[in-house]
Structure 1
Amino acid sequence: MQLQNSSKSNVTDTFSTVSYDLSNRRNDLELLRIVALFILIFYHTGMLYVSGWGFHYKSEYQSEMVANWMLLVNPWRMSLLWLISGVALRHALHKYGAWHSLQQRCVRLLLPLLFGVLVVVPPQLYIEMAGKAQLPSDLSYWDFYQAFWHLKDPLFAQYKSGILPHMDVNHLWYLRELWKFSLLLIVVHFFWKSLSLRFPLAIASVENRMKHVFAMSWQGAAYSGLLIAALVVLDIVHLDDRNNTGFLFLLAGYALASTSSFWQHVFENRKGYLIAAGVFYVLLLCVYNFLALVPERNAWPWVDPVSAIVYRSYGGFCIMAALGYARYFGEQFQQFSQRWSEAVLPVYVVHQSLILIAAYCLKPYTVGAWLEPILVITFTCVTSCLIYYVVARINILRVCFGLKWKLTKQLAVSGTLERNQREQFGQKLRKGLAYILLVPLALKLIL
């Protein structure tokens, strides 16, 4: 018993002295990104089976009860990813500066987006159109993919236009919006730094005041409450679309990246936030099943604001609990998170296509409402790991999936001149791809 108490005390002491300096690696958020990816796989699999929720393709085994499980993660899954991305952007700007961060974001976000739209997303379009009986029954995927490259092919006459005619981003919208919002923050960061060089005393005074305010211990609870309140207000005034919410949490992650009071607060109060999340989840189920799904009750004027308060408060509590427990487990799973954090982006790019392919191929076999989702999830996870295994070893694919050019082990220990030449070649290749392929896409997204 004494040993257990001593161990617990040591853990508490360790976390009380954790530095949130922008130069330190955030193992907690790397672990949380991996967990969030697994949640996303389960969530998008659930979209096949939840009745009444739109999706690219739906299974025959649909149920309204699945929505209760979907609501477990729906209110907070994307907001959490946006907050993590904001922290990552702040760290990148601190380490590399604005110009290098901009180049890095273009390659690591726009290139996977372009590759995904042209290679990964088309199977989703094929399955969606086939499921809606919008394709000839004898049309193979190869014939479909050839037609996909013809922008005016009549096969897609009824299909809505995306970033290009009949070419849309589907689940990769997150990469598109993350790039645009990151571009905005990088520009603001650049001008702020430029002002600090031109007016050093004035800017230093403002920054010192901001650091003093952010450092106050009571401010951690204030930031948490402010974020949750902002979510509620956006929902009540019907401005809670995914872009507004995403930018709010990206900005919050950027602003709070090195705010020790906030991170210490969510760590110390993680249990309280988890309990609050549990209570509000029960309230959310009650609101959804007994008010939102009943037309005569849903029309009552107070239902909408009450639903917004419950829905967004639950999501906010979950995010705070997730951040707190990620800090608690981050150091314990440090090697795991550092080993697999690189796989997050490639698996994110391919996972939804794999889900739809598995569900579409299983449909003729009618394996049952329980076995089918198990097989879909198993196929998606196993195939995603295999794809990452291949991508991680081929540099061209690494670049296409937003990963860094990787030196071979022999090259890493070889002469400095040869290593520098290979590094320069990798950098020129990435920059060449960025300028040739990504500039038109960037202009399309901005304009």
Structure 2
Amino acid sequence: MSAHYATPAGPLSSRHYGMDWLRIGAFALLILYHVGLVFSTWPYELKSARSYEWVAYPLLALNAWRLSLLFAISGYASAAVLARASGTAAFLRGRLARLGIPLLFGMAVVVPPQPWVWLTMAKGYDHSYLWFLAHDYFTFRNLDGVMVPSWMHLWFVVYLLAYTLVLVALKLLPARVRTWLHDTGERALEGWLLLPLGIGWIYLARRLPGGWTDNHDLVNDLHAHAAYLPMFLFGVLLRKSEGVRLAIARQWKLAAALAVLGYLGVSAYEWHFLADVRIHEAWQDPFRVARATQSWCAIIALFGIADRYWNREGRWRTTLAEAVFPFYIIHQTLILVIGYWLRPLHPDPLVEFAVLVAGTAVGSLAFYFGGRAIGPLRPLIGLKRTAKRAQAPIETPPGEDSEGAPA
């Protein structure tokens, strides 16, 4: 390796603190992203009394890659847990419990305020929350365009469970088949094709019907699965491939520059075409290419930065890494409920933004520390039943020692 390029910060078997910091940072940005949606002209379950077209530009800086990054991190972490598990069956049991229990708890207890706020603010629903919970939420139907009950933002956990089943199925393949799949993927991505192959794959996935608009319906979301499942499997490969890590170490700076160019292209497109203008198909392809470039290259750049600069311990890493999954479970409910309470007060937009961010942070901390302290609540919020003395870094995926779900 030439001295011009930084080698990965540690061997494949070592713990990777950089991935923890990357997940923590990605989730902090996710809170800001969801609060930003309240003030944007884009669809969201709750809207501020005032919306601003310019809010789209900071949102576009994150929109193309935030979810794909989290699936890649989850794949990396899942591969680490599977490698340490006593067997494939034990791994699967652990994943089903660590992700499935918070999912069911979230759908039954945490999520219900979200569709109620949505129905009340956007659909004219005039019943109280308690009435909604007792009479409407658990009726398994389409209620004025809103499916109840719902997993809302917990769709990420549902998809992660599904992709975990795919990983288990791959693990059950004959060893020679698994080796061939690994070697083929590694050969394709450990050289100069790392960037163009990733960009091309995302471009083709988002050419499928639905494009960049995920519907969060597990069985009818082909274009989303075409993007997110390979990203999850890329994370699995990255955990096991020194060659791909070295390729990222060589190319992350170029990837960062291309990601910025992709963002500029997407922003120019947003600025030139109004949301309600019908755009000729010929103008759609440059947008798709720019967005695919931004998406893949931002992820490669962030992996390179995490490996080069962030792979070190920090005072708050243990707590923050463990808190990510509980924060993810509760954060969107807090945003919608706080926003609902603020709406009649007509606060100044800056005040509204500050209260939403601070209230979500404080409420998420209370949810995490309260659930962590009460033993029976720990598995409900995605924590292990008993606390460990030391927090392992990203060697454990969303729902293990530390979880990084979001969106």
Aligned to 2:400: none
Counterpart among 195, 200, 206 of residue 235 in structure 1 = 206
Q: How does 1:329-344 map to 2 (within 5 A)?
A: 329-344=309-324
CA deviations over 1:286-306 (Å, ceiling 9, x no partner): 12221464726x22x321111
CA deviations over 1:310-346 (Å, ceiling 9, x no partner): 1110111111111111112323344533332111111
2:10 counterpart letter in structure 1: V
Aligned to 1:84: 73
1:123 counterpart letter in structure 2: P
Aligned to 2:30: 40
Counterpart among 277, 287, 296 of residue 295 in structure 1 = 277
Aligned to 1:265: 247
Q: Does residue 143 of structure 1 match 2:138?
A: no
Aligned to 1:256: 238
CA deviations over 1:167-217 (Å, ceiling 9, x no partner): 011000010111012112212212x2xx34xxxxxx29x73895598379x
Q: Does residue 369 of structure 1 match 2:349?
A: yes
Write the distance in 2 (CA, Å) between the matches of 1:402 and 1:150. Answer: 23
Counterpart among 263, 268, 287 of residue 286 in structure 1 = 268
Aligned to 1:59: 48
Q: 1:224 touches 1:262 (CA, 8 Å); kept in 2?
A: no
Aligned to 1:167: 149
Write the distance in 2 (CA, Å) between the matches of 1:234 and 1:152. Answer: 31
Q: How many percent identity over aligned positions?
A: 24
Counterpart among 120, 126, 144 of residue 158 in structure 1 = 144
CA deviations over 1:112-139 (Å, ceiling 9, x no partner): 1110011111111111111025332xx4
Write the distance in 2 (CA, Å) between the matches of 1:56 and 1:213. Answer: 39
Using a 3 Å threshold, how does the CA distance of structure 1 residues 310 and 117 change in structure 2: closer, same or farther?
A: same
SS at match of 2:269: helix
CA deviations over 1:256-303 (Å, ceiling 9, x no partner): 22212222232343333222222221121112221464726x22x321
Q: 1:220 touches 1:263 (CA, 8 Å); kept in 2?
A: no
1:226 counterpart letter in structure 2: L
Aligned to 2:106: 116
Shift of 1:150: 5.2
Q: How does 1:44-443 map to 2 (within 5 A)?
A: 44-51=34-41, 53-96=42-85, 97-136=87-126, 139-148=127-136, 151=139, 157-161=143-147, 166-190=148-172, 192=173, 195-196=174-175, 203=176, 207=179, 211=183, 214=186, 219-238=190-209, 240=211, 241-291=223-273, 293=275, 295=277, 298-299=279-280, 301-406=281-386
2:235 counterpart letter in structure 1: G
Q: 1:87 touches 1:253 (CA, 8 Å); kept in 2?
A: yes
Shift of 1:12: 7.6
Using a 3 Å threshold, how does the CA distance of structure 1 residues 378 and 213 change in structure 2: closer, same or farther?
A: closer
Write the distance in 1 (CA, Å) between the matches of 2:181 and 2:93. Answer: 32
Segments of structure 1 that go 5 or more residues without pairing to the other structure are 1-8, 197-202, 413-447
* Larger relative contact order, structure 1 or 2 (CA cutoff 8 Å, min sep 6): 2
Q: 2:101 touches 2:380 (CA, 8 Å); kept in 1?
A: yes
How does the TM-score come out when normalised to structure 1?
A: 0.77
How does the TM-score come out when normalised to structure 2?
A: 0.84
Q: 1:236 touches 1:305 (CA, 8 Å); kept in 2?
A: no
Q: 1:29 touches 1:84 (CA, 8 Å); kept in 2?
A: yes
Write the distance in 2 (CA, Å) between the matches of 1:398 and 1:292. Answer: 47
SS at match of 2:50: coil
Shift of 1:348: 0.3
Using a 3 Å threshold, how does the CA distance of structure 1 residues 114 and 263 change in structure 2: closer, same or farther?
A: same
Q: 2:46 touches 2:121 (CA, 8 Å); kept in 1?
A: yes
CA deviations over 1:133-175 (Å, ceiling 9, x no partner): 5332xx433333222465279xx753544xxxx1011000010
Write the distance in 1 (CA, Å) between the matches of 2:267 and 2:9. Answer: 39
Q: 2:16 touches 2:311 (CA, 8 Å); kept in 1?
A: no
Segments of structure 2 that go 5 or more residues without pairing to the other structure are 212-222, 391-407
1:40 counterpart letter in structure 2: L
1:403 counterpart letter in structure 2: L
Shift of 1:63: 1.3
- Per mean C-alpha deviation after superposition, the further-off stretch among 347-356 and 273-282 is 273-282
Q: 1:98 touches 1:187 (CA, 8 Å); kept in 2?
A: no
Write the distance in 1 (CA, Å) between the matches of 2:263 and 2:350. Answer: 25
Write the distance in 2 (CA, Å) between the matches of 1:312 and 1:329. Answer: 26
- Per mean C-alpha deviation after superposition, the further-off stretch among 284-293 and 87-96 is 284-293
Write the distance in 1 (CA, Å) between the matches of 2:274 and 2:248. Answer: 31
- Higher helix fraction: Structure 1 or Structure 2? 1
Q: 1:221 touches 1:262 (CA, 8 Å); kept in 2?
A: no
Larger Rg: 1
Write the distance in 1 (CA, Å) between the matches of 2:47 and 2:365. Answer: 25
Shift of 1:365: 1.2
1:233 counterpart letter in structure 2: L
